[in-house]
Structure 1
Amino acid sequence: MEIGWMHNPRQRQVLVFFVLLSMYGASAELGPYSVVEETERGFFVANVGKDLGLGLTEMSTRGARIISQWNKEHLQLKVQTGDLLINDKLDREKLCGPSEPCILHFQVLMEKPLEIFQAELRVKDINDHSPVFTEREMFLKIPENSPIGISFPLSNALDLDVGSNNVQNYKISPNSHFRVLTQNRSDGRKYPELVLDKELDREEEPEISLTLTALDGGSPPRYGTAQVRIEVVDTNDNAPEFEQSLYKVHIPEDSPVGSLVVTVSASDVDSGVYGKISYAFFQPSEDISKTLEVNPMTGEIRLRKKVDFETVLSYEVDIKATDGGGLSGKCTLLLQVVDVNDNPPEVTVSALTTPIPENSPDIVVAVFSVSDPDSGDNGKTSSSIQDDLPFLLKPSVKNFYTLVTQKTLDREERAEYNITITVTDMGTPRLKTEHNIT
């Protein structure tokens, strides 16, 4: 959120708002509220005044308003009525991508007296996207002596919608040789597998063209199509087989570019060109292609760019080993990123009062929050100030602190204090952040 300072020569008081808390450290919950995506601007969500038990005039006289992280004004509050309205049309896919549920966190702030209420708005998905195949045309080479029941994985379709509005099943155009099965990946995505139901005869039918259709779970369902072109080839009796069906690997997030992740290995008992194997990623995502590379000859997989635990926790990709006759085997690489303490704590000042009056005890000087995107002990923090100052640091709600005067102050004795807020995480090595307040 953009933080702006307000200067007034008549009144030397500066308030910086990111998230304002009650002066007593209290915080209450509102909602949760919900709305369907693409709802038009001005749509009524709820009456906040009624939920808070306030009269119509109290919302206005107390200076009620909405604040939200990153200053995205998706909501507006009508203080005259207490109504909470949609401020702009919400696109769930732009707001949350594939994450579900899609939750927008915001706060209702009362300035007089200072009080805050935590709230959330859940944006529900509608079926407004159709499945799309990244490969609109797929080519397979299948030996004519392939056994009945053998399966061939096909590229999956992508759908920006989530839940039941995402891709649910696949079907194939009517034919005498193949059917399609819908399979599930560990991340919840569904992909098609082509299954051979009837023996192939290259001399009778050297090429087969099929239409693959992906359907989502909407009512009515949306769909996308791709062409599957099959070349029936002469005998290649054995497909490559990997030593492991699953390669599970851990790698620290500070590993340099070019680091060896793992070496996959497949073998083929055929001789000559039919026993020569090449390796490649099978339908990798754009992120996988930017992060990893595979040596087609050796099966070595290395980092193309540095990984970041705070951005992506793990990567999953299928690796295909293909012999010279077009047969292929498949294994899965699950790469899990190990967290390293590489992020210092962050201090965000939510409210700052300066100057403060003398001879007044328990004055709230500042409200601030502490965050650290690392995980485990690397993300745990402790906060402190100097011991020789007449101020006290009090923990408030989760990750928030208030800085208050510990006793009455005398301006004639001392007119200014420099306070250093020190925040240290519990990682190894420990990282520290200091924030100064005058």
Structure 2
Amino acid sequence: LTMTRQVLLFISVLSLSSVHGQVSYSIPEEMGKGSLVGNIAQDLGLDIKRLKSGKARIYTGDSAEYIELNKERGVLLIKEKIDREALCGQTTPCTLHFQIILENPMEFYTVTVEIRDVNDNIPIFKNNEVKFEISESALTGARVVLERAVDHDVGHNALQSYFLKPTENFILEMQSLPDGGKNVEMVLQKPLDREKQEQISLLLTAVDGGEPQLSGTMQILITVLDANDNAPVCSEAVYKASVTENAHKGIVLTTVSASDADQGPNGRVTYSISNTAEASNDIFEIGRDDGVVKLVGDIDYEILKHYQINVQARDQGGHTDSCKVIIDVIDMNDNKPAINIMSKTSAISEDAKHGTVVTMMNIQDPDSGENGKVQCYIEENIPFVMTSASNNFYSLLTDSDLDRERAPEYNISVTCSDEGVPSLSSSVTLTLQISDVNDNAPVFDRSSYEAYIIENNTPGLSIFTVKARDADWNQNARVSYILEDSSVNGVPVSSYVSVSADSGVIHSVRSFDYEQIKDFHFRVKAQDGGSPPLSSNVTVKIIIKDQNDNAPQVLYPVQTSSSLVAEMVPRSADVGYLVTKVVAVDVDSGQNAWLSYKLQKATDRALFEVGLQNGEIRTIRQVTDKDAVKQRLTVVVEDNGQPSRSATVNVNVAVADSFPEVLSEFTDFTHDKDYNDNLTFYLVLALAVVSFLFITCLVVIISVKIYRWRQSRVLYHSNLPVIPYYPPRYADTLGTGTLQHVYNYEVCRTTDSRKSDCKFTRPFSNPSLMGLIDTNKHYNNAL
């Protein structure tokens, strides 16, 4: 660093106020692009990582950026070649002001760069050639004010001196002005003689003080006139006037007057503006003959507060005098505050802490005094507040808790007003999105669910849908559905149903059977996609609806392929005599299990009927001797389902008063071929066993006893079927009234009966059956 830079940096560090840091540099103008300005990271005590993570950048407001920040090296570099004269004109010192903005957290630092002048501009005269007419009667010491050269450089590089050649008649003198400038006057040191030399040519050279020294020239042509020995004299050396900015063109500011002692044409004075900045020449004009100064251009207090014009009074003889007109511009409140957003956040998390900086703004009002004082405010009833970080710098901060579900976006209107009369204001609307935080768990639209499915469904069938909603947004509101682990009758619930993770649709995994399971419960969890995820669960009850998928099953009478069941009806039975009862069940439920009984076929339809609801077979007329002993009934059992299912049962009825009568009728029952074959095989085998018992001497006595024991069990020696014995007092226990009487059963077996049975049923107290049993005993003894 140069000594100047070090001193400025030291002063800046000592003068830190509410900004986080200040630093100043001093560099020459016209430095090449990419030239080093300074190590900003080192001078501000910042780590280069902080510059990167904070997205460091330069904020210049509306000004052009001449300096750029290299975050990799932490240095400031020349972005564009700087022309001090184009940037600041004659203003000294020439400085650039900008801020270094950092984010996360938001900070800013003020940087001032002084642009030092280099000698890159030569002195320039407005006119390459000027002409004067000087009377030969001009006295020694007469002065001619010359046009000043303009050198845009400042300081030592600015215009320093003039040289005039040749110097036979004239010498140069310079007079200092209050504004720091110098008037150049050509002083006559030797009287002119028109007769000797009518035209005089001089060369005026303007030289600056730079290294290397630069110069400019102007040709002066003097025409020597006849005698006019009085010069005009201005009535005042300095005229003062004031005008409000934005004043109408043509307004009169002041009048300059000068007098000439000569008379006639030699005393006529004309006025002109000379040696004035080009900007002033376009704004003001003076009447050539009357000296009235008028406003002809636009003036702006914010551009220039004071104007100075030089007025030259000239007579016809070429004599001149000069005076100054100083014009003060009065400020008007004609500028609204300018709101410049230095840094802003477009989105902020809803869990942001109080005092989080959302936006930093720079407010500028180029007006002066009260017109330039600005106050900023925002609307009420929002969770934000405006604070002033330093002069003209404001920050927008969070002031209370944010809730995206209540207000996902804020349009914050910032209004800045000055204190002028009338007050002017500007406003800007800041749109701030509130980013979501996973602070809401999914909520089911019901506290519990209950759904129905008909049994025998197709696996994979959609049963119904559970639905949960999450008040959060985007990923945090993305709900996934999970089947919680549980079991139904010891089987994992996942083998019964599944749930779609995305849609919540519950599908059956298997085909359900109402007869095995009628309902079951499980829980579904809804989980969002946040981190960490939030969840809730709900209980689901599935009810299996019955389907008519089971035909009635006949429990009684028992139907087998190897036996014959017969019910005995005495011939003395009255009308309504209960023959038997068809007992059937249907494992379905509801109306699918409601059974009805119909007589489909019968040997004699006029003799029997079947109870529609209870399946009882009763006589519908008195039994006569003409009725056949063998009666065969076919009963159909139907359920009430849609479509209905049915089962049939054959009931054999023996119409007889005695057992022998029954036997005589049922001996002609034939057996099928398989039965005869098996019977023959068993007979041969029995014969072999008996033969073996007789042959074996060692077991003769035992064989005899076995033979006698078998003989005691034989009822008779014939080819009749076996009548099985059922346990006594076989009663209906279903509570449906299908067996209203108590029945006893007895088994009779012959030696040649192996597979086919003949079953007869009578009431336990029937004396005729008891007599039949006694008869069988006597018959057995005869055998």
For normalisation by structure 1, the TM-score amounts to 0.87
User: CA, structure 1 residues 49+312, in 2 after alignment: closer, same or farther (shift >3 Å)?
Assistant: closer
Flag the 1:351–1:430 CA change in 2: closer, same or farther, 3 A.
same
2:144 is aligned, of 139, 146, 152, to 152
Mean Cα deviation higher: 385-394 or 409-418: 409-418
Is 2:233 the counterpart of 1:241?
yes
**1:20 aligned residue:** none
- CA deviation string 1:23-55 (max 9, x = no partner): xx9523343112222222332332222223344
Q: Are 1:250 and 2:258 matched, yes or no?
A: no
Equivalents in 2 of 1:324, 1:56: separation in Å? 73
Structure 2 unaligned residues grouped into runs of 5+? 1-16, 432-783
The 3 A distance-change label for structure 1 pair 253 and 358 is same
2:26 alignment partner, SS class = strand
Partner of residue 576, structure 2: none
Q: CA 1:222–1:292 in structure 2 vs 1: closer, same or farther (change >3 Å)?
A: same
User: Alignment partner for residue 187 of structure 1, among 179, 202, 206?
Assistant: 179
Q: Deviations over 1:161-201 (max 9, x none)?
A: 11110101111113222110123333333331111222222
Instruction: Tell me which residue corresponds to 2:31.
Output: 39
Match of 1:366? 359
Query: 3-state DSSP class of the match of 1:134?
Result: coil
TM-score of the superposed pair, with normalisation by structure 2 = 0.50
The 3 A distance-change label for structure 1 pair 371 and 89 is: closer
How large is the Cα RMSD of the aligned pairs? 2.3
> 1:410 deviation in Å?
2.9
Q: Call closer, same or farther: CA 1:412–1:76 in 2, change over 3 Å.
A: closer
Instruction: Give the AA of the match of 2:370.
Output: D
C-alpha separation between the residues in 1 aligned to 2:345 and 2:243? Answer: 46
Which residue of 326, 332, 339 corresponds with 1:340?
A: 332
Conservation of the 8 A alpha-carbon contact between 1:167 and 1:190: no
User: Which of 271, 293, 310 is 1:318 aligned to?
Assistant: 310
Residues 233-292 of structure 1 deviation map (CA, whole Å, 9 limit, x = unaligned): 222132122221111001111321111111222222222111222222123432222111
Name the count of aligned residue pairs. Answer: 414
Distance verdict in 2 for CA 1:216–1:63, change over 3 Å: same
How do 1:2-401 and structure 2 match up within 5 A? 27-70=19-62, 72-360=64-352, 361-401=354-394
Q: Aligned equivalents of 1:51 and 1:334: distance in 2?
A: 44
For 2:355, the aligned partner's letter is D
Q: Which moved more, 1:409-418 or 1:294-303?
A: 409-418
Work out whether residues 157 and 191 of structure 1, in 8 Å CA contact, stay in contact via their aligned partners in 2: no
- Secondary structure, aligned partner of 1:288: helix
Distance (Å, rounded) in 2 between the aligned partners of 1:150 and 1:110 = 66
2: CA distance between counterparts of 1:416 and 1:87? 39
CA contact (8 A) 1:30 1:51 kept: no
1:168 touches 1:190 (CA, 8 Å); kept in 2? no
Stretches (4+) displaced over 6 A: none
Residue type at the aligned position of 2:402 = L
Asked if 1:426 is matched to 2:419, the reply is yes
Q: 1:406 to 1:281 in 2, by over 3 A?
A: same
- Greater Rg over alpha carbons, structure: 2
Q: Quick one: percent identity of the two aligned structures?
A: 38
Deviation at 1:345, TM superposition (A): 1.4
- Do the aligned residues in 2 keep the contact of 1:69 with 1:105 (CA within 8 Å)? no
Tell me: CA distance 1:403–1:108, structure 2 relative to 1, closer, same or farther (3 Å).
closer
Equivalent pair of 2:102/2:108 in contact (CA under 8 Å): yes
Q: Give the distance between the partners of 1:293 and 1:71, measured in 2 at CA.
A: 32
Task: Report the secondary structure of 2:273's partner residue.
Answer: strand
Change (3 A) 1:276 1:260: same
Distance 1:55 1:390 in 2: 34
Change (3 A) 1:263 1:57: closer
On the 8 A contact 2:21/2:108 being kept in 1, the answer is no
Deviates more, 1:165-174 or 1:359-368: 359-368
Q: Secondary structure at the match of 2:342?
A: strand
Check whether the contact 2:356–2:398 (CA below 8 A) recurs between aligned residues. Answer: yes
State the Cα distance separating 1:347 from its structure 2 match.
Answer: 1.4
Instruction: Supply the distance in 2 between the matched residues of 1:285 and 1:47 (Cα, whole angstroms).
Output: 39
Displacement after TM superposition at 1:305 (Å): 1.8
SS in 1 for 2:349: coil
Superposed displacement of residue 317, structure 1? 1.3
The structure-2 alpha-carbon separation of the partners of 1:187 and 1:353, relative to structure 1 and needing over 3 Å to count, comes to same
Q: In the alignment, what sits opposite 1:6?
A: none
Matches of 2:371 and 2:63, distance apart in 1: 28
Q: Which has the higher strand share?
A: 1
The alpha-carbon distance between structure 1 residues 50 and 86, as it changes in their structure 2 partners (threshold 3 A), is same
Query: How has the CA–CA distance of structure 1 residues 308 and 147 changed in structure 2, closer, same or farther, with 3 Å as cutoff?
Result: same
Indicate the SS of the match to 1:433: strand
Aligned mates of 1:49, 1:26 — CA distance in 2:
20
**Distance in structure 2 (CA, Å) of the matches to 1:366 and 1:187:** 44
Instruction: Decide whether aligned partners of structure 1 residues 108 and 387 sit closer, same or farther in structure 2, where only a CA change above 3 A counts.
Output: closer
Aligned partner of 1:351: which letter?
S
Give 1:160's aligned amino acid.
H
Deviations 1:39-96 (A, max 9, x none): 2233233222222334454443443344434474433433333233323433322333
Q: Could you tell me which residue of structure 2 aligns to residue 402 of structure 1? A: 395
Alignment check: 8 A CA contact 1:377 1:427 kept:
yes
Distance 2:204 2:181 in 1: 17
Query: 2:34 aligns to what SS in structure 1?
Result: coil
Contact 1:169-1:190 at 8 Å conserved across structures: no
| Deviation of 1:107 (Å) | 2.6
AA aligned to 1:386 is E
Deviates more, 1:181-190 or 1:300-309: 181-190
Structure 1 gap ranges (5+): 1-24
CA distance in 2, matches of 1:346, 1:75: 23
Q: 2 CA distance for matches of 1:143 and 1:55?
A: 76
Q: Which letter does structure 2 place at the counterpart of 1:155?
A: E
Structure with a larger share of its residues in helix: 2
CA distance in 2 between counterparts of 1:110 and 1:101 reads: 28
State the alpha-carbon separation in 1 of the partners of residues 298 and 74 from structure 2.
49
Secondary structure of residue in 1 paired with 2:140: coil
Question: Any conservation in 2 of the 1:169–1:215 contact (CA below 8 Å)?
Answer: yes
Higher relative contact order (CA 8 A, sep 6+): 1
SS of alignment partner, residue 107 of structure 1 = strand
